[in-house]
Amino acid sequence: MRNFFLLILAFLRRYVKEMFSYRLQFVLSLVRIAFFLVIFFFIADLITGIGSPYLEKYGGDYFPFIVVGLALNAAIGAGLYGFTGAISSEQAIGTLEPMLTTPAGPFVIFMASTVARNITSIIWPLLYLAAGAVIIGGFTWSGIPIFILAGGLTAVAYLGIGMISAAFTLVVKRGNPINLFFGTLPALLSGVYFPVEVLPSWLRAVGRAIPLTHGLELSRTALLPGATPESMSGGFLFLSAFAAFSLPAGYVAFRYALNRARKDGSLSHY
């Protein structure tokens, strides 16, 4: 366990150095956040009153609704793309095979890398929330612990999916359907950009099977002023059950793909 934490610290130092070594990229990421917030601020002003029946249980204001959606969507990114990103970056610079020959073992290495990516990625949802708070005058800050718990549990649920995504990367190299079905589509069906209540009933049913949907409902209930309190136990139960299923499934898929790539000699191909 001590070696695992040391690995996390080593990857954490590496990612922090990378983040601040490429200062222009970091600044452009900040500009991108500001750009999106400005766009949605004016969209919120445009649709005020139009979408209010769907926004009532979220406090009636679209802008804080979308800020929380963008923040949590950013928070799950490392869980979903952490394993795949670690593999792709090491393949590109030719260090994947040497890294996997170390005593730590491949799964431990990639898990430590993903945990470190999750830690460094916390900055982005925090920036969304901070900027949103400045504009709207604040959230229900007493709900921050629930938001952290919901966000962390959602990221853990997506970690198993991230392992399956990494398995596809090891086998097919390019063209990953997991990223499409669990990365792009959920942003549309889980309520990141608009309440799920506007969707047709059959799409709402699909959305209820997505972990991000429950994470967003928990987070918005906790953070948005004027939000109608809902029972949170169901959301936490779903996220826990999903994580309990996805983590073992992801582990099995990743180990299988890694062993297959080692046997056919394609581990360093990308």
**What digits encode the pLDDT tens for the residues 10-34?**
777 877 777 777 778 778 888 888 8
> CA angle, corner 238, sides to 175 and 124, nearest 5?
55
Note the pLDDT tens digit of each residue in 114-148. 777 777 777 778 888 887 777 776 677 778 888 88
**What residues pair up with 58 in beta bridges, in sequence order?**
227
Average pLDDT over residues 180-203: 82
The total of other beta-carbon atoms located within 10 Å of residue 165's CB is 27
Binned at pLDDT 50, 70 and 90, residue 238 comes out as: very high
Q: Are 55 and 61 in contact (CB under 8 A)?
A: yes
Report the mean per-residue pLDDT for the chain. 79
Global pTM reads: 0.82
| Helix spans in the chain (H) | 2-21, 23-47, 52-55, 62-75, 77-93, 96-100, 106-121, 123-136, 144-172, 177-179, 185-189, 201-207, 211-223, 233-264
